Chain A
């Protein structure tokens, strides 16, 4: 019995939901950032699954995989810049707990 398209989509959606739970529930900024990357990876899995299953002439549809290539590249750039921001934030505030970063709170 092979895995069908809905199997892959369900697993990818589950990973996305887990990442979403992490972003909402965790208070440490680094962990929130890691769960954000989980969400991006779940989207990548959806794209690759559709690329494989919706192929034509026996070949996968490579536009989906090219988009995954771009998403991975942009995620790498985003992680670099985001971590630089976090380091600058830590230098300024000495904390990584989102509860204590409340200078914009009314």
Chain B
């Protein structure tokens, strides 16, 4: 991803994240979180992960943050008047975070760095097993071998998901059902 765009969206993401932690008003924190997620989705798109980027906006920013804002309005949260942080736990918490960041920088300086290899559509089409896995009429084959090739991101993810991860997919379906039933059960007013 071109560096200027990377720095801009990374800055949006990080500043949004800091605003979530630092702002007093919960609704303002939720808005800052949406901005952070939009920056994150832009970074995903820059990494050629188009499907994951759109899903991030649809699910996280569109559904999860809306749910948060519903709950904040339902519970009628006011802005916290004054945040009296007890000194010792606050220092301890910040200490943990600073240690984590130092470890992160230490690990990253030791591991080998990798440059972004551009998408090579000729190499994709010439890969062993590509012709059997994606025959000539399929969407993947048509997109990759076209005169102006594009990355059929959704098709590749669908191929991987439904061929190699079929059982986890069914289990996640059951998980969503259980979560829905659980939410309804938890939200009932307890009969006195």
Contact = CB atoms under 8 A, between A and B. Distances in A.
Interface of A: 1-11, 13-22, 24-28, 30-31, 33-35, 37-38, 41, 44-45, 48-49, 51-60, 62-63, 65-66, 68-70, 72-81, 83-88, 90-91, 96
B21 A18 contact: yes
Interface residues on B, range: 35 or more
Contact of B21 (A14, A25, A44, A78): A25
Contacts of B131: none
B72 interface: yes
B56 A44 contact: yes
A88 B48 CA distance: 41
A30 B116 contact: no
6 contacts: A4-B113, A15-B36, A34-B20, A38-B36, A72-B52, A72-B59
Contacts of A31: 20-21, 26, 29
Nearest to A38: B17
A86 to B, nearest CB: 7
A20 B97 CA distance: 7
Contact of A41 (B10, B60, B67, B176): B60
Q: Report the 6 A-B pairs with minimum CB-CB distance, sorted nearest first.
A: A58-B120, A24-B93, A58-B123, A57-B127, A77-B179, A22-B21
Interface in B108-124: 108, 111, 113-117, 119-124
Interface string B43-71: 11011110110011001100110011001
Contact of A76 (B59, B74, B85, B182): B59
A28 B168 contact: no
Given A7-B6, A48-B52, A51-B49, A38 B157 contact: no
A55 to B, nearest CB: 7
B108 A6 contact: yes
A7 to B, nearest CB: 7
Given A24-B96, A66-B165, A74 B172 contact: yes
A83 B70 CA distance: 10
B44 A45 contact: yes
A34 B40 contact: no
A72 to B, nearest CB: 5
